[in-house]
Chains A and B, each alone.
Chain A
Amino acid sequence: MDFGWSEQQDALRGKVVEFLRDHLPDGWQDIAALSPGSQEVTDFSREFCPKLAEAGLLASHWPPEFGGRDAPAWDHFIIGEVMWEAGEPRGPQYYNVNWIGPTILHYGNEEQKAQHLCRMMQGDVIWCQGFSEPSGGSDLAAMRTRAERDGDRYRINGQKIWTSYARLAEFCFLLARTGAGKRDISVFLIPMDRPGITVRPIESVVGDGDLHEVFFDDVEALESERLGPEGKGWDVVRYSLNFERVGIPRYALALRTLHAAVADLEASGSFTETARLAAALAMSSCEAARMLVYEAVDQRSKSAPGTGIASMARYAVVLAERQVADFVLDWTPHLFVSETNPMVATHHKRAIAAGLAAGAAEIQLNLVARDMLGLGT
């Protein structure tokens, strides 16, 4: 048991911090204040990620044939911590390297790996994830989008909703029903310019480009675009979700936001005893979330993370995000509604979605109760 970083890990963190210092423009915080799915952040990510790849920092955890160097899972996570704290300059491309890529690496055939992982390593491809539907969000098994066999291909009909980054995405990691059984689901890797796909942005309080409706009207999919065996999509999704739940080190931006709010209070001489108590409690929640996320990453670095710990970590992250967001609203409301510190508003937008994305917080509790406490019906 060891809770410190190795010299190599400290050096890596230093290298990433230095990389950001050299490559983030002066006005980066104003760009980052827009959502990862905005045109501006997406455009920025297409300039930034190729440089990151060149420096060996985009997907070092992948095998050399796909541009990585088989680095330990911890390396990629350390890079992610620094990136998220800085406002995520990889924009929507964090999807690619955090969980879509690793899932393709695990379940994809050689052609799929060569096609998609190599594109991801170029640092300019945007993916979206077609999971939620009007009839089922957290209840993924209630999905209605169907992929009907038509000879050597499929015809996909249905609708997805809340799809992040869909408007600018080139590919979709799409779930569709391929049989009559509740769990008869398959995963498809579909180009978003395929005829029959329509994307409509949904205006929201979480930022521009984050929520969309995506309609599939007789969309053709090739058999070679199916990821994993037909009807086994559930396993693929579970694998992917375990990465997604602890993929983003959300406590890192939460802590940065907390420090910003405290600095503001200190500057005005208003960091009272009561505020100090609230700030310390919020900080301890962030540290608690950090430790559980680290435990999940540690498990992943040794094998695959169990469902329970990824869900428990995710729930702790949700609480920490909420506590910091509430601290800002309670003590520094002017930061929430002004441009004084754009990262505070950015944090709020990202924090309020934490308890919904990758399965509602209540789903995480169901999984903890079932997988870690042995409680169930």
Chain B
Amino acid sequence: MDFDFSEDQQMLMTAFEGLLAPWTQAPQGLHGYTVYSAELQAEIAAAGFMEIAAQPGFSLLDAALLVEAGAACPVSVELASSMMIAPLLANAEGPLAVASALGQPVRYLPVSQSVCLFHDGDVWQAPVASAQIEVLDSVAAYPLGRLARVPNAASKLSSDLAGTIRRRALIGIAAEAAGLMRGAIDCTVAYVRERQQFGQPLGHFQAIQHRLAESAQLARASRWLAFRAADSERESDAATACLYAQESMRKVITDCHQFTGAMGLTLEWPLHLWTYRMKVLQGEFGGKGAQARRLAQSAWPETATEAAALPEMAM
């Protein structure tokens, strides 16, 4: 049990954070809902970070560290699927979008080269160029798209692989959520230190201190649960991490916006770049209901008869 970075991890994080450094401030005069950077996406790929999990001496845990660090940036780039799922697939050129169902919003689909799709109990892989996609225009801070049908060029993956992809998707969501919560809380803490009301900074009010401290607890525990799941790759750890993160984000989003007041409703203040990604992650892969179902299934397996009597688990 060791919660500190190893020397290799420290070097990895220093290199990655150096690459992210120019992107840690939100662009001035922002007018859009989303800040996706193809340039940063390409830089991260060119530097070899997407293959980190397969590098000698590194593992999925190291990918989770990078996903979390990347998500804490106001600029969004697709890291989780490229780092955690693409290595399982053949010819999955990144960015890689993962669709948990047909008809649902899919993060990064309009900017992706490849897509993985869960449909009808199977998982498919296809180049995005071969798919008919609908680009969704929304307030979310992710580029979003939707698939209406399984692309003709899609190839079906094995059911074993489907389980691993789903598990890694949950771990990726948890790590990304942890970074987003951290980014949103940092942004809010900076705001309440400066913003004066009733003759003192908002951060001097205990009502605000306590709720932000609670949010910080949720974010930090989410981070450790995500890293533990990446380290163990156990089904129960993945479900726990994703469930806890999806449950925790609700409070973090609400409180960060509450304490930022109307400023947090504007596009010029960067808070939405974290919170409006979290709002999409909250319901990913069936949301907390499905994750709770998965965790309960791991912790307290039902007999085959009981399981058959229940509705099919959300993908």
**Interface of A toward B, CB cutoff 8 Å:** 1-5, 9, 74, 262, 266, 271, 273, 276-277, 279-281, 283-285, 287-289, 291-292, 294-295, 297-299, 302, 312, 315-316, 362, 365-366, 368-370, 372-377
Q: Report chain A residues within 8 Å CB of B65.
A: 1
Q: Which of B1, B185, B213, B289 touches A2 (beta carbons < 8 Å)?
A: B1
Q: Which residue, of B5, B208, B224, B231, has the highest number of chain A Cβ atoms within 10 A? A: B224
Q: Which of B200, B209, B232, B243 touches A280 (beta carbons < 8 Å)?
A: B243
**B21 located at the interface, meaning its Cβ lies under 8 Å from any Cβ of chain A in the complex:** no
Instruction: List the one stretch of B111-119, B143-151, B260-268, B290-298 in contact with chain A.
Output: B290-298
Chain B residues numbered 44-74 whose CB sits less than 8 Å from any CB in chain A: 61, 65
* In the complex, per-residue mask of B168-183: 1 if CB is within 8 Å of any chain A CB, else 0: 0000000000000000
Q: Which of A5, A262, A281 touches B292 (beta carbons < 8 Å)?
A: A281
Q: Report chain B residues within 8 Å CB of A285.
A: 244
State the Cβ distance, A47 to closest chain B Cβ, in Å: 32
Further contacts, 11 of them, CB under 8 A, given A3-B228, A375-B212:
A273-B310, A280-B239, A280-B296, A281-B243, A284-B243, A284-B292, A284-B295, A366-B213, A370-B209, A375-B193, A375-B204
Q: Report chain A residues within 8 Å CB of B300.
A: 262, 266, 271, 276, 279
| Listed A/B pairs (19) with beta-carbon separation below 8 Å | A1-B9, A3-B231, A276-B292, A277-B289, A279-B296, A279-B300, A280-B295, A280-B296, A280-B299, A281-B243, A283-B240, A284-B292, A297-B1, A302-B4, A368-B217, A372-B213, A373-B185, A373-B203, A375-B212
Given A3-B232, A280-B293, A281-B292: A291 in contact with B221 (beta carbons within 8 A) = yes
- Do A4 and B232 touch across chains, with their CB atoms under 8 A apart? yes
The 10 A-B pairs with the shortest beta carbon distances in the complex, nearest first, are: A288-B221, A369-B209, A280-B292, A291-B224, A368-B213, A276-B296, A375-B203, A280-B295, A365-B213, A284-B244
- Do A315 and B1 touch across chains, with their CB atoms under 8 A apart? no
Q: Report chain B residues within 8 Å CB of A291.
A: 221, 224-225, 228
Q: Which residue, of B9, B185, B231, has the highest number of chain A Cβ atoms within 10 A? A: B231
Given A1-B3, A3-B231, A365-B210: A276 in contact with B217 (beta carbons within 8 A) = no
Q: Report chain B residues within 8 Å CB of A271.
A: 300
**Interface of B toward A, CB cutoff 8 Å:** 1-6, 9, 61, 65, 185, 189, 192-193, 200, 203-204, 206, 208-210, 212-214, 216-218, 220-222, 224-225, 227-228, 231-232, 239-240, 243-244, 247, 288-289, 291-293, 295-296, 299-300, 310
- Do A362 and B210 touch across chains, with their CB atoms under 8 A apart? yes
- Do B228 and A373 touch across chains, with their CB atoms under 8 A apart? no
Q: Report chain B residues within 8 Å CB of A266.
A: 300
In Å, the complex CA distance between A9 and B1 comes to 10
In Å, the complex CA distance between A291 and B203 comes to 27
Residue of A nearest to B4 (CB): A1
State the Cβ distance, A297 to closest chain B Cβ, in Å: 8
In Å, the complex CA distance between A271 and B293 comes to 12
State the Cβ distance, A100 to closest chain B Cβ, in Å: 25
Q: Which residue, of A1, A368, A372, A376, has the highest number of chain B Cβ atoms within 10 A? A: A1
- Do B216 and A372 touch across chains, with their CB atoms under 8 A apart? yes
- Do B3 and A373 touch across chains, with their CB atoms under 8 A apart? no
Residue of B nearest to A284 (CB): B244
Q: Tally A-B pairs: CB < 8 A.
A: 146
- Do A283 and B295 touch across chains, with their CB atoms under 8 A apart? yes
Residue of B nearest to A278 (CB): B292
Q: Which of B3, B193, B295, B296 touches A295 (beta carbons < 8 Å)?
A: B3
- Do B2 and A298 touch across chains, with their CB atoms under 8 A apart? yes
Q: Which of B6, B61, B212, B225 touches A373 (beta carbons < 8 Å)?
A: B212
In Å, the complex CA distance between A262 and B222 comes to 25
- Do A373 and B1 touch across chains, with their CB atoms under 8 A apart? no
- Do A4 and B231 touch across chains, with their CB atoms under 8 A apart? yes
State the Cβ distance, A299 to closest chain B Cβ, in Å: 8
State the Cβ distance, A124 to closest chain B Cβ, in Å: 32
Residue of B nearest to A302 (CB): B4
- Do A3 and B227 touch across chains, with their CB atoms under 8 A apart? yes
Q: Report chain A residues within 8 Å CB of B220.
A: 292, 295, 312
State the Cβ distance, B198 to closest chain A Cβ, in Å: 13
- Do B212 and A369 touch across chains, with their CB atoms under 8 A apart? yes
Q: Report chain B residues within 8 Å CB of A297.
A: 1
Q: Report chain B residues within 8 Å CB of A365.
A: 209-210, 213-214
In Å, the complex CA distance between A295 and B222 comes to 13
Residue of A nearest to B215 (CB): A373
In Å, the complex CA distance between A366 and B203 comes to 12
In Å, the complex CA distance between A217 and B7 comes to 58
In Å, the complex CA distance between A273 and B310 comes to 9
Given A1-B227, A369-B213: A281 in contact with B247 (beta carbons within 8 A) = yes
Q: Which residue, of A3, A281, A302, has the highest number of chain B Cβ atoms within 10 A? A: A3
Given A287-B225, A291-B224: A366 in contact with B209 (beta carbons within 8 A) = yes
- Do A315 and B214 touch across chains, with their CB atoms under 8 A apart? yes
Residue of B nearest to A77 (CB): B1
In Å, the complex CA distance between A312 and B212 comes to 12
- Do B217 and A316 touch across chains, with their CB atoms under 8 A apart? yes
Given A312-B220, A365-B209, A366-B206: A277 in contact with B2 (beta carbons within 8 A) = no
Q: Report chain A residues within 8 Å CB of B200.
A: 377
Q: Report chain B residues within 8 Å CB of A373.
A: 185, 189, 203, 209, 212-213, 216
Q: Which of B209, B217, B244 touches A315 (beta carbons < 8 Å)?
A: B217
Q: Report chain B residues within 8 Å CB of A5.
A: 1
Given A276-B293, A279-B296, A284-B244: A368 in contact with B3 (beta carbons within 8 A) = no
Residue of B nearest to A276 (CB): B296
State the Cβ distance, B170 to closest chain A Cβ, in Å: 12
Given A3-B227, A291-B224, A374-B189: A277 in contact with B296 (beta carbons within 8 A) = yes
State the Cβ distance, B309 to closest chain A Cβ, in Å: 11
- Do B1 and A298 touch across chains, with their CB atoms under 8 A apart? yes
In Å, the complex CA distance between A287 and B293 comes to 16
State the Cβ distance, A11 to closest chain B Cβ, in Å: 15
- Do A375 and B192 touch across chains, with their CB atoms under 8 A apart? yes
In Å, the complex CA distance between A281 and B212 comes to 21
Q: Which residue, of B4, B222, B296, has the highest number of chain A Cβ atoms within 10 A? A: B296
